[in-house]
């Protein structure tokens, strides 16, 4: 009994648990398109741009930790998908792109294009995937799928790519005789976890102000519950990277929010005072540790645990004790090694951190008649969210404001492009999230500039009737950016785009349009929007003069430890200049 390679691929992925594929069909992938659409239990979602298809698969995979799959055609379709894949590479997300290709007899190295719309995309994909290959022989399909899936999920996850020529797609294979890949011989990186945990416990006991920095490696190791239990036993403060913000409820006595230049006001004060930093599955990016890795006290000891050895030795990171290990194994071992009941050794330090947290709320009072402050909006939106809600956040001021304001409860999640702040990724990622968790309320928060980059996918939300609420923060242009650009480089202002007519955008893409304009009725207006079934495009008309909060610096923090450094989002008079915040592209489209 033989089946086509296309059918085999669809069945293989379905057997793996893949139930949704994001695609823009085309003739180069026509057998795959057909096979995927005919595979029972596998739904193919029609995106309107291949970049968006890759981002939808990424959004689903970010939410579930399971393999996301995108299917695209040859040539420009495949290259478009590349642009959507680099975020999965940087953020460590398991995504498989399957691309169609011209027939093998037309494929050739060293020519710019071949056949009808043929391009050697795997060469470009290689530098942003963990595995990429052309399936040149039908009999190799199982081996390539095995390898691709293993690389996508194993160790630090990431994207992979299979390019399947038309003749191979259509070729018949006997599933029973297909050879698979050899089993991975890589040693599971859990060996030595207990010994390492004991060493860490020794270090913790002698530290005065220990700090855990938690990143998404904890979630990727499927160790969220173990992590929470470990923290409760150790009773030491936790600061998170952006992808770790939903590891602990914000109201946990151990949670001290997101650090780094895009983080909350006060975690930098804690980071700068700690004498022992244990990073668990955080990439310790430049945005987190500072341009010169100076967010931590120079005398502090920094331990970093990561499954990816390159993360431990990369430039710009100062790690005294690199531990290349599965974070989950170490967290479990630490949990077991921690004293029970917890040692109260660091209660004073914990109280000190709690005082900083209490002294630096993001959102203060606001006059009910003023224009809407975006911090206030996010605060009031979150107040009406419940368990299981998924926030999907874009770049620019949306990214800053949510990261500084959202206070997750236990089952809430955030999806965002953390390493790259990939402008415009939120709408397609939200589509993926909505298909991955059909029962969850998905809330997009995106700026009026960033939404343009994948605006066509609003029609996908509409077409599939996804109950996504897309909140567009419209600050009436780019007031804050003008100011920051002038401050950074001086001279004349750069050319700036104008904003869209969002009421017409909603009509164009067939979504209901709602608007939030008044601070006084914000709670009631949000309630109305959330009470309506189905999707909506919600324009939030924000104060164009509002500034963003600047996280306090570590060295400044040490000096300002008297608590006088409180800054409120609603008190523009107290706000420092934006200079430190604008070192990113997306702010140009805030």
Interaction pattern, residues 24-53, with its own copies; x per rule: CB under 8 A = xxxxxxxx-xx--xx-----xxx-xx-x--
Nearest to 432 by CA among 18, 11, 14, 10: 18
Give me the helices (H) in 385-478, please. Answer: 397-405, 426-436, 458-463
Interface of this chain with its own copies, residues 117 to 156, rule: CB under 8 A: 117, 119-120, 123-128
Is residue 77 involved in binding its own copies (CB under 8 A)? yes
Q: What string of DSSP letters covers 405-432?
A: H----TT-EEEE-TTT--TT-HHHHHHH
> Do residues 40 and 34 make contact, with C-beta atoms less than 8 angstroms apart?
no
44 or 412: CB nearest its own copies: 44
Interaction pattern, residues 173-212, with its own copies; x per rule: CB under 8 A = ----------------------------------------
245 or 485: CB nearest its own copies: 485
Nearest to 377 by CA among 476, 299, 473: 473
Q: How far apart are CA 408 and CA 245, in angstroms?
A: 8
- DSSP E strands, 2-102: 3-4, 20-23, 43-46, 68-72, 95-101
Interface of this chain with its own copies, residues 507 to 526, rule: CB under 8 A: 507-510
Shortest separation between residue 458's beta carbon and its own copies, angstroms:
10
252 or 456: CB nearest its own copies: 456
Interface of this chain with its own copies, residues 480 to 509, rule: CB under 8 A: 485, 488-489, 491-492, 494-498, 500-502, 504-505, 507-509
Tokens of 249: 């409820």
Partners of residue 90 on adjacent β-strands:
none
138 or 157: CB nearest its own copies: 157
Name the pairing type of β-strands 20-23 and 131-134. Answer: unpaired
Interaction pattern, residues 380-419, with its own copies; x per rule: CB under 8 A = -------------------------------------x-x
Interaction pattern, residues 431-470, with its own copies; x per rule: CB under 8 A = ------------------x--xx-xx--xx-xx-------
252 or 515: CB nearest its own copies: 515
Which part of the chain contacts its own copies (CB under 8 A), choosing from 322-330, 379-387, 553-561, 579-587?
Answer: 579-587
Q: How far apart are CA 31 and CA 167, in angstroms?
A: 9
192 or 467: CB nearest its own copies: 467
Candidate residues 5, 239, 421, 436; the one interacting with its own copies per rule CB under 8 A: 421
Name the pairing type of β-strands 3-4 and 172-173. Answer: antiparallel
CB within 8 Å of 141: residues ≥ 6 apart:
5, 8, 9, 12, 135, 164, 168, 173, 178
Nearest to 590 by CA among 444, 368, 431, 421: 421
- C-alpha angle 542-266-318 in degrees, rounded to nearest 5: 120
Which part of the chain contacts its own copies (CB under 8 A), choosing from 83-91, 334-342, 352-360, 526-534?
Answer: 83-91
Shortest separation between residue 100's beta carbon and its own copies, angstroms:
8
Partners of residue 101 on adjacent β-strands:
165
Is residue 113 involved in binding its own copies (CB under 8 A)? yes
CB within 8 Å of 114: residues ≥ 6 apart:
102, 106, 107, 108
6 or 162: CB nearest its own copies: 6
Q: How far apart are CA 121 and CA 102, in angstroms?
A: 12
Shortest separation between residue 28's beta carbon and its own copies, angstroms:
6
Nearest to 404 by CA among 371, 377, 385: 377
74 or 441: CB nearest its own copies: 74
Shortest separation between residue 170's beta carbon and its own copies, angstroms:
10
Interface of this chain with its own copies, residues 87 to 106, rule: CB under 8 A: 87, 89-90, 92, 102, 105-106
Interface of this chain with its own copies, residues 301 to 340, rule: CB under 8 A: 310-311, 314-316
Is residue 252 involved in binding its own copies (CB under 8 A)? no
Is residue 551 involved in binding its own copies (CB under 8 A)? no
Q: How far apart are CA 254 and CA 234, in angstroms?
A: 10
Is residue 115 involved in binding its own copies (CB under 8 A)? yes
């Amino acid at each position: 009994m033989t089946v086509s390679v296309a059918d085999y691929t669809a069945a293989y992925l379905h057997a793996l648990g893949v139930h949704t594929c994001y695609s823009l069909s085309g003739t180069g992938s026509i057998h795959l398109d057909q096979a995927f659409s005919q595979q029972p239990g596998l739904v193919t979602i029609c995106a309107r741009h291949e970049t968006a298809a890759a981002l939808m698969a990424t959004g689903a995979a970010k939410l579930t930790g399971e393999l996301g799959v995108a299917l695209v055609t040859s040539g420009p379709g495949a290259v478009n998908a590349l642009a959507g894949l680099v975020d999965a590479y940087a953020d460590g997300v398991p995504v498989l792109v399957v691309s169609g290709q011209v027939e093998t007899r037309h494929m050739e190295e060293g020519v710019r294009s071949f056949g009808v719309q043929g391009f050697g995309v795997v060469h470009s994909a290689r530098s942003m995937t963990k595995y990429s290959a052309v399936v040149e022989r039908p009999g190799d399909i199982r081996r390539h799928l095995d390898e691709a899936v293993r690389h996508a999920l194993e160790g630090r996850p990431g994207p992979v790519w299979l390019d399947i020529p038309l003749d191979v797609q259509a070729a018949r294979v006997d599933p029973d005789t297909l050879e698979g890949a050899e089993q991975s011989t890589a040693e599971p990186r859990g060996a030595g976890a207990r010994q390492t945990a004991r060493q860490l416990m020794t270090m913790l006991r002698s530290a005065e102000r220990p700090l855990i920095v938690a990143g998404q490696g904890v979630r990727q190791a499927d160790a969220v519950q173990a992590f929470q239990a470990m923290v409760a036993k150790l009773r030491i403060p936790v600061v998170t990277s952006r992808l770790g913000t939903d590891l602990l409820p914000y109201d946990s006595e151990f949670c001290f929010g997101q650090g780094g230049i895009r983080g909350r006001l006060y975690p930098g004060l804690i980071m700068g005072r700690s004498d022992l930093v244990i990073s668990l599955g955080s990439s310790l990016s430049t945005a987190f540790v500072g341009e010169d890795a100076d967010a931590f006290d120079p005398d502090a000891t920094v331990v970093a645990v990561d499954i990816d050895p390159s993360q431990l030795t990369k430039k710009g990171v100062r790690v005294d004790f690199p531990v290349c290990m599965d974070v989950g194994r170490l967290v479990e071992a630490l949990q077991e090694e921690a004293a029970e009941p917890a040692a109260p050794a660091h209660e004073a330090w914990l109280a000190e951190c709690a005082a900083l947290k209490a002294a630096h709320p993001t959102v203060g009072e606001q006059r009910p008649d003023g224009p809407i402050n975006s911090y206030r909006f996010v605060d009031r939106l979150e107040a009406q969210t419940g368990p299981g809600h998924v926030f999907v956040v874009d770049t620019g001021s949306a990214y800053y404001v949510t990261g500084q304001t959202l206070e997750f409860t236990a089952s809430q999640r955030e999806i965002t492009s953390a390493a790259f702040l990939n402008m415009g990724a939120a709408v397609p990622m939200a589509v993926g999230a909505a298909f991955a968790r059909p029962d969850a309320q998905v809330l997009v928060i995106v700026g009026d500039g960033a939404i343009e980059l994948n605006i066509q996918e609003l029609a996908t939300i509409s077409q599939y009737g996804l109950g996504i609420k897309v909140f567009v923060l419209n600050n009436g242009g780019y007031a804050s950016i003008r100011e920051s650009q002038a401050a950074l480089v001086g001279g004349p202002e750069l050319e700036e785009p104008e904003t869209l007519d969002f009421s017409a955008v909603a009509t164009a893409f067939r979504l209901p349009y709602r608007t939030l304009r008044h601070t006084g009725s914000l709670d009631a207006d949000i309630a109305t929007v959330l009470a309506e079934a189905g999707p909506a495009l919600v324009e939030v008309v924000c104060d164009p003069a509002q500034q963003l909060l600047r996280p306090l610096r570590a060295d400044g923090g040490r000096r300002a430890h008297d608590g006088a450094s409180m800054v409120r989002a609603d008190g523009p008079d107290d706000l420092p200049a934006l200079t430190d915040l604008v070192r990113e592209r997306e702010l140009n489209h805030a």
